[in-house]
Amino acid sequence: MSFRLKALPVSVAFALLASQPCAAGPGGNADAVPASADEWFAAGRAAVETSKRIVPNRSRARNVILFVGDGMGISTVTAARILEGQMRNADGEFNRLSFERLDHMGTSVTASANQQTSDSAPTATAMVTGIKTNDGAISVAQTIDRNEPSAAVTRAKSVKTILEQAEERGMATGIVTTARLTHATPAVNYAHIGNRDWEADSNLPAGATVPDIARQLIEFPYGDGIEVALGGGRSYFMPNTASDPEYPTQKGRRKDGRDLTTEWTTKYRQSAYVWDKAGFDAVNPRQTRHLLGLFERSHMRYEADRKDDVAGEPSLADMTEKAIRILRQNDKGFYLMVEAGRIDHAHHAGNAYRALTDTVALSEAVAVAKKLTDDRDTLIVVTADHSHVFTIAGYPSRGNPILGKTSIDGVPSTDALGLTYTTLSYANGPGWTGGLQRREFNPADESAVAVQYDGSALRPDLSAVDTTSPSYMQEATVPMGSETHAGEDVAIYASGPNAYLFRGPQEQNVIYHVMADALGLDRNRGRGPGRR
């Protein structure tokens, strides 16, 4: 596909130094890698000259698509870029992911109202409401108590989201995620609650009147309702007396007896509910106004494991395409959030392979969105809610396998103990080796299995270990059951109307204001919390 570059600040021109000559495919064409000092110089000059000819797009947007790579820090983008190129037997370092080719780039300060290093609830809330809030809070003000049980209090402290505003405008709206639809990042679009963990009524404390997150999706009160909701979390919508269609021995999680999947199709005309790939593929976008897809009891599979699902699951790119084809039927435009939610989960598990391949899947989804939309009327924003303590280290030669052991000109590098080490690692997490103990990731139940190796009492000998294996867990410095988020800024990539406003370090809640301004929504919004 081609990429229309309309506006690029000179300050980020060199970020695209290598991308300008590489127009073949979302990952670029490694054949265009400069091979001499003169060619490198010419490529850099060409990037600057290209940026000087570009004029910012200041027109209004008809559509906004917000892509969120959950946990997709800059080191994740860099490693995924290299891996994607290497998987094509190309120059990974010169490769670019599709969203790295968007017109503009800035950075987002992810600290929340009460955290230096944040979780997904307040960071995603910032992006869709324009305010910063506390740990665990879903589209409510920071003054709410984490375990506030009252519906009335929660309503008073709720902050209207861009999706809700879009529905009030008569626009179409959608949410696509590889996590549960009730998980923090997708939930911030439609739910308002103090505790992100209250996903089903069985999670609520006794006496609570605030509706659970899954219920809020079905009882969404704005406009003609959310048009597209695709992801995981099926069990949160099913009663605990009903058997799961894919796993018959397992039941739903709801205690109230409600089957929210049936309520979806009852509530909306021209609606459909699907739970497998066959049902998804059968949906005709021209004949469907409201589509609910729940493809797993909990989170959807990692991209690397999607082929192992007997019932089949659509890819993130598949879901993005279906969503856009449904939403663009509305002549007033649309708002869509697309989340690659499992990047975050793989990092927490200390498993770089799945984090990076899910990042590549996000790149493919962005490429689809670019193909189906036009920069003249569609603002596309790609960012992350937060980063992870994921590092790229050592001095490996260019072209060394990014998942492999660090080598210089084919000679393995060693540490002070004389042992080999990998280029990728974590500052903390379950990959801590604990002397001779090394662990491998088991995707079947997302557990870690200890593996014994001979070698140093301080670190295992990795010389005979295939660190490029999907099950390999990178070593971690500090032992923790789950690797943690990191607090540094994350990148924002954008193209289309108002994209030029993303430049330099900006507070994360600015993302909302850029999107709302592009759609002309700010002028119609009430002031402050409680305006639902």
- Name the pLDDT band for 443 (thresholds 50, 70, 90): confident
- Summarize the confidence of residues 454-478 as an average pLDDT: 85
Task: Examine the pLDDT at 61 and tell me if it is beyond 70.
Answer: yes
For the chain, report the end-to-end CA distance as a whole number of angstroms: 41
- Name the pLDDT band for 458 (thresholds 50, 70, 90): confident
Task: Examine the pLDDT at 284 and tell me if it is beyond 80.
Answer: yes
424, two tokens: 């990728």
Helices 120-129 and 162-169, axial angle in degrees (round to 10):
30
Question: Beta-carbon neighbour count of residue 109 at 10 Å?
Answer: 16
- Summarize the confidence of residues 198-224 as an average pLDDT: 98
Q: How far is CA 26 from CA 1, 88, 371, in A?
A: 7, 12, 11
Q: 320 versus 451: which is more confidently predicted?
A: 320
**Strand-pair category, 476-479 with 424-429:** parallel
pLDDT, tens only, 340-358:
999 999 999 999 999 999 9
- Name the pLDDT band for 240 (thresholds 50, 70, 90): very high
The answer to whether 493 and 381 are in contact (CB under 8 A) is yes
Nearest CA among 194, 80, 188 for reference residue 137: 194
pLDDT, tens only, 120-152:
999 999 999 999 999 999 999 999 999 999 999
Lowest pLDDT segment from 42-46, 100-104, 345-349, 411-415: 42-46
Lowest pLDDT segment from 33-37, 204-208, 467-471: 33-37
Instruction: Tell me the pTM.
Output: 0.91
Task: Examine the pLDDT at 362 and tell me if it is beyond 90.
Answer: yes
Task: Examine the pLDDT at 1 and tell me if it is beyond 50.
Answer: no
What pLDDT shows up at residue 448? 77
Catalytic residue list: 120
The 3-state DSSP class for residue 437 equals: strand
Task: Examine the pLDDT at 22 and tell me if it is beyond 70.
Answer: no
> Radius of gyration over alpha carbons of the chain, in Å?
23
- Name the pLDDT band for 19 (thresholds 50, 70, 90): very low
For the chain, the farthest-separated pair of C-alpha atoms sits apart, in whole angstroms, at: 72
Q: What percent of the chain has pLDDT over 70?
A: 90
What pLDDT shows up at residue 435? 56
| Cα–Cα distance for residue pair 158/532, rounded to 1 Å | 7
Instruction: Give the total residue count for the chain.
Output: 532
Q: 72 versus 441: which is more confidently predicted?
A: 72
- Name the pLDDT band for 452 (thresholds 50, 70, 90): low
**Cβ neighbours of residue 456 closer than 8 Å, sequence gap 6 or more:** 417, 419, 436
525, two tokens: 């919004």
What pLDDT shows up at residue 404? 98
Q: What percent of the chain has pLDDT over 90?
A: 80
Q: 307 versus 15: which is more confidently predicted?
A: 307
- Name the residue with tokens 């002397």: 435
